Chains A and B, each alone.
Chain A
Amino acid sequence: MTSLMGHPSADGRFGEFGGRFLPESLIPACAELEAAFTDAWADPSFHAEYESVLHHYGGRPTPVTECRNLSAQLGVRLLLKREDLAHTGSHKINNVIGQALLARRMGKTRLIAETGAGQHGVATATAAALLGFECRIYMGAIDVVRQALNVFRMELLGAEVVPVSSGSRTLKDAINETLREWVATVGATHYCLGSVMGPHPYPWMVREFQRIVGTEAQGQCRELLDGEDPDVVVACVGGGSNAAGTFAGFVDTDARLVGVEPAGGAAIGRGIPGVVHGSKSYLLQDEHGQVLEAHSLSAGLDYPGVGPEHAHLAATGRVTYVAADDAEVLDAFSLLARTEGIIPALEPAHALAWVVRAAGTEELPAGCTVMVTLSGRGDKDVAQVAEMLHPRRIVESLM
């Protein structure tokens, strides 16, 4: 029995990665959260409520779809785990429902969260509306402009959106600002962190709240594949929450696991350990330790770090991490839309891009079976992609 993707060590480590690197003021809150999550996750009634909300409200289980047209074209059998069909349009809802139920159990009255492209902010605002929390979302000032519709969505859901003008004015600065607020408001406020990153217990807790993706997918794949597991399981990795949830369902099978980072934000690919936002992992940084910005066409993957468990999974070799560049991601985005009638979010388009590139090579030999987690739907990205693919048409339509 492997110990991979089980409980982290008592000091919150996955191998050498993880930990709790935060100001002393937040250490009691992390300890309280760890105790509350440990207790809740061992309580069948908490599981029952979490699963019930995700079923009746969140639309779970999401299906696994076999892509017959694209499979024929690529020469591999391609399955998609359809997180794009979950409420709010991505896997993010799984984590926020879990955390919001936990926050209520802890007696908290407020949720705060960071968001990059806005998906986690929208999901958090949704859970807050459903469960009656006050909600404030921190979002980089640049992202507020780029994702104006998601800002409006969050406001429509009753959340307050605070633009962050410090640093690079993007996701990493939104996390900084959320942590700064949390230091001051920690008594009544729960920080609903959006990915498998941050201080212990977040990487473990968020992975457990996303495990449902992998658990469902593993069973669904066996139904479709006559009791077999896919040969390869692929997911995109920014912070890494959909990948962590997916891999958790397959880590004990023989499936090869592949995480796909954006070429301009490949924290694992570059392989330099660092500490930011509460944990030790791989981190894009300069020679002095200053954190660098990630750059890709997908705002949801533009994070300079990566969840510490992914760093560990890379170090152990159980998961292979690769990168996809913007051009092949755009191609994969369009390809899935045309062949299968599914417009993916740009984030999972990275995972698809790797499948398209690898299909027929020794990485993904002809005839093998591959499952990709389609972590979200592409509605949020359509305007951006239109501008990139057909700038003139957009300009004309505005005239």
Chain B
Amino acid sequence: MTGAIEIALRARRDAGRKLLVPYVTGGLGPDWVRVVEAVAAAGADAIEVGLPFSDPVMDGPVIQEASQQALAAGATPASILTELSRVDVDVPLVVMTYYNIVFRAGHRRFARSLADQGVSGAIVPDLPLIELDGWGAAADGAGVETILLVAPNTPDATLAQICERSHGWIYGVAVMGVTGERATLASTAATLGRRLKAATDKPVLLGVGVSTPEQAAEAAADADGVIVGSALVRRLLEGAGPDGAAAFVAELRAGLDAL
């Protein structure tokens, strides 16, 4: 299956562009939908929207806080997906959530609800390759691209299987750790980027600990692009709003375009 995300990202990459995927927590603040639209207009190639979960083990303090605020404001997976269906952007939308949200809804029902609301892909960080089967089949059946993660310590054989099974892009976790800003890009980023690029022709994006335009450019040198979450969400928590979010994404874009 080659879906809309992979087709769109391949086309842009093959045209010489480095890819940028910002992450926005769904339901964070009353204007989060406008944030998604502003981020798209500022140069994103796809957008990751978090469906907040009560126990996000792959996330550091910033996204934890954003998730709690969104949940406290009454956000639910269904309410976020409904609002997303009204978002007017011309780049693919991907949800990032945890497996219990998917499992509770039911694999097929969740996959269908994503497809119905115009969401092209899903990232479920606590669903590793060895547990993928049930969700993977349902997502494939609904035409939803499941983007799998590879860690710096993932063995070569598993890395190859993940590259084969992942749809949309391959998500390289740049650092051994959870999401959050870092002062410098981890040395594991370049190594993992090169390993992945050697293993697959699918788009390879590095995320986790990619916090600044400089780090984005550094990471993208060994990959097809980057995912930036906490650095953007922190600005949203500080009140940046759609304009501030767009300004930061434009900076990231400029950093990547300078490569």
Chain A contacts to B: CB under 8 angstroms? 11, 19-25, 27-28, 166-167, 172-173, 176, 179-180, 183-184, 186, 273-278, 280, 283, 285, 287-291
Inter-subunit contact A11/B149 (CB<8 Å): no
The reply to whether B131 and A20 form a contact with Cβ atoms under 8 Å apart is yes
| B149 neighbours in A (Cβ, 8 Å) | 23-24
Say yes or no for B178: interface residue by CB 8 A criterion.
Answer: yes
Assess whether B128 is in contact with A21, with CB atoms less than 8 Å apart: yes
Contact B99 A275 (CB under 8 A): yes
A-side contacts of B151, CB under 8 Å = 23-25
Given contacts A28-B155, A289-B101, A289-B104, contact A20 B57 (CB under 8 A): no
Report, nearest first, the 5 A-B pairs whose CB atoms are least far apart: A289-B104, A25-B151, A184-B177, A290-B54, A289-B101
A217 to B31, CA, bound (A): 61
| Chain A residues, Cβ within 8 Å of B175 | 184
Cα distance A296–B54 in the bound complex, in angstroms: 20
Most chain A beta carbons < 10 A, residue from B53, B78, B104, B154: B104
- The answer, yes or no, to whether B176 is at the interface (CB within 8 Å) is yes
Contact A24 B100 (CB under 8 A): no
Q: If A180-B60, A291-B55, A291-B100 touch, does A23 touch B125 (CB 8 Å cutoff)? A: yes
Task: Report B239 CB to chain A, min CB distance, Å.
Answer: 21
Cβ 8 A contact of B100, one of A20, A22, A173, A276: A276
Q: Apart from A184-B177, A289-B101, what 6 extra A-B contacts exist at CB < 8 Å?
A: A27-B128, A183-B178, A184-B175, A186-B153, A275-B103, A289-B104
A78 to B57 Cα, complex, angstroms: 43
Identify the closest chain B residue to A179 (Cβ).
Answer: B57
Query: Cβ of B57 and Cβ of A176 under 8 Å apart?
Result: yes
Residues of A within 8 A of B173 (CB): 23-25
Report which B residues bind A (CB closer than 8 A): 53-58, 60-61, 64, 68, 71, 76-78, 99-105, 125-131, 148-155, 158, 162, 173, 175-178
Q: Name the one of B105, B127, B131 contacting A289, with C-beta atoms under 8 angstroms.
A: B105
Cβ–Cβ < 8 Å partners of B104 in chain A: 274, 285, 287-289
Q: List 7 A-B contacts (CB under 8 A).
A: A24-B150, A25-B152, A184-B178, A274-B100, A276-B55, A287-B104, A288-B76
Contacting pair A166 B61 (CB below 8 A)? yes
Contact present for B60 and A183 (CB under 8 Å) = no
| A21-B129 Cα distance, complex, nearest whole Å | 10
- What residues of chain A lie closer than 8 Å to B61, measured between beta carbons? 166
| A173 CB, min distance to chain B CBs, angstroms | 8
The contact of A24 among B53, B57, B128, by CB within 8 Å, is: B128
The reply to whether A183 and B176 form a contact with Cβ atoms under 8 Å apart is yes
B58 touches A183 (CB 8 A): yes
Closest A residue, CB atoms, query B178:
A180
What residues of A have a CB within 8 angstroms of the CB of B68 in the complex?
166-167
Point out the residues of chain B lying under 8 angstroms from A176, CB to CB: 55-57
CA distance A184 to B175 in the complex (A): 8
- Which residue, of A19, A172, A179, A180, has the highest number of chain B Cβ atoms within 10 A? A180
Q: For B162, list chain A residues within 8 Å (CB).
A: 24
List, in ascending order, chain B residues with CB within 8 A of A287's CB. 104
List chain A residues, Cβ under 8 A from B129: 24, 27
Other-chain residue from B127, B130, B154, B176 in contact with A184 (beta carbon distance below 8 A): B176
Q: Are B78 and A23 in contact (CB under 8 A)?
A: no
Contacts of A21 in B (CB 8 A): 99, 126-128, 131
Which residues of chain A are near B127, meaning CB under 8 Å?
Answer: 21
Which residues of chain A come closer than 8 Å to B153, judged between CB atoms? 25, 28, 186
Assembled-state Cα–Cα distance A264/B154 (Å)? 40
Chain A, residue nearest B162 (CB): A24
Question: For A290, what are the chain B residues with a Cβ–Cβ distance below 8 Å?
Answer: 53-54, 71
The docked-state distance in angstroms from the alpha carbon of A23 to that of B149 is 8
B53 in contact with A289 (CB, 8 Å): yes
Find chain B residues with CB under 8 A from A23 CB.
57-58, 125-126, 128, 149, 151, 173
In angstroms, Cα B126 to Cα A183, docked, is: 12
Distance between Cα atoms of A23 and B60 in the complex (Å): 14
A275: chain B residues at CB < 8 Å are: 99-100, 103, 126
A193-B131 Cα distance, complex, nearest whole Å = 21
The residues of A that contact B55 with a CB separation of less than 8 Å are: 167, 172-173, 176, 276-277, 291
Q: Tell me which of A172, A183, A283 contacts B177 (CB under 8 A).
A: A183
What residues of B have a CB within 8 angstroms of the CB of A167 in the complex? 54-55, 64, 68
